[in-house]
Amino acid sequence: MSGTLVLVRHGQSEWNLENLFTGWRDVDLTEQGHAEAKTAGARLKAHGLKFDIAFTSVLKRAQKTCQHILDAVGQSGLETIRDQALNERDYGDLSGLNKDDARKKWGEEQVHIWRRSYDVQPPGGESLKDTGARVWPYYLHDMQPHVLRGGTVLVAAHGNSLRALIMALDGLSGDAIVKMELGTGVPIVYRLNADSTVASKEILEE
């Protein structure tokens, strides 16, 4: 057995609540989102987890989620690396639009394709495959080495940047990963073998 990798999607954001495409827009957590992040921290503390390093995106909804978790486990000052490689998928021209309004403008089927296909880009934005193209190298070069040295690593990021990472860890197809729903503020605990394969995976839900 090697180390532990903990993935947490940020708590509910203001634009999640308002049903808007968020992407790289830097919106804050809702009150519920702050509570979800604190609950995630409490669950991780209850499982006895302590971290050696934390990674998050350059967007405050993920950063604040990360900080709430570290506060909860008693590691408020832990080294935390912020990088846009972990940012949410860039929704391009859809960013800031209400999802229902987008359906009226482009049609239900087209918006569904943009949201739920693996390699189709929305106008001016990224596909999930594009998101993976920045997440995977960053994981291999910057995060995985800490885990393989036996460390425990926290990653607080976004629905699609984490989907890309889970796709690689779980060996899922593009079709399978786009169907996966990630709850806000729900920790996923991976324990990796020394050869980087997954030894176990646990989702810390209620």
Q: What is the pLDDT of residues 75-115, one digit of tens each?
A: 999 999 999 999 999 999 999 999 999 999 999 999 999 99
User: CA-to-CA distance for 32 and 13, rounded, in angstroms?
Assistant: 8
pLDDT at 201: 98
pLDDT at 104: 94
Residue 70 near residue 51, CB atoms below 8 Å: yes
Q: Is the dihedral of CA 196, 69, 183, 114 positive or negative?
A: negative
10 is an active site residue: yes
Sequence-separated (6 or more) residues with CB below 8 Å from residue 139: 165, 168
pLDDT at 2: 86
Q: Nearest Cα to 146, choosing from 6, 12, 15?
A: 6
Tally of CB atoms within 10 A around 179? 10
pLDDT at 88: 97
Rg (CA), the chain: 16
pLDDT at position 126 over 90: yes
User: The sheet that has 53-56: what strands, in order across it?
Assistant: 80-82, 53-56, 152-157, 4-9, 188-192, 198-203
108 is an active site residue: no
Residue 11 near residue 65, CB atoms below 8 Å: yes
Q: What is the mean pLDDT of residues 119-126?
A: 96
* Catalytic entry in 68, 88, 126, 158: 88
Q: What is the mean pLDDT of residues 68-75?
A: 98
Q: Which CATH number does 4-203 carry?
A: 3.40.50.1240
Q: What is the mean pLDDT of residues 49-76?
A: 98
Q: What is the mean pLDDT of residues 53-75?
A: 98
What percentage of the chain carries pLDDT values higher than 70? 100
* Catalytic entry in 10, 36, 126, 158: 10
Look up tokens 């996923």; give the residue: 188
Domain boundaries, the chain: 4-203
Q: What SS3 string covers 115-132?
A: HHCCCCCCCCCCCHHHHH
Sequence-separated (6 or more) residues with CB below 8 Å from residue 135: 85, 86, 161, 164, 165
pLDDT at position 39 over 80: yes
Q: What is the pLDDT of residues 146-196, one digit of tens each?
A: 999 999 999 999 999 999 999 999 999 999 999 999 999 999 999 999 999
User: CA-to-CA distance for 124 and 112, rounded, in angstroms?
Assistant: 16
Q: What is the mean pLDDT of residues 9-31?
A: 95
User: CA-to-CA distance for 111 and 178, rounded, in angstroms?
Assistant: 14
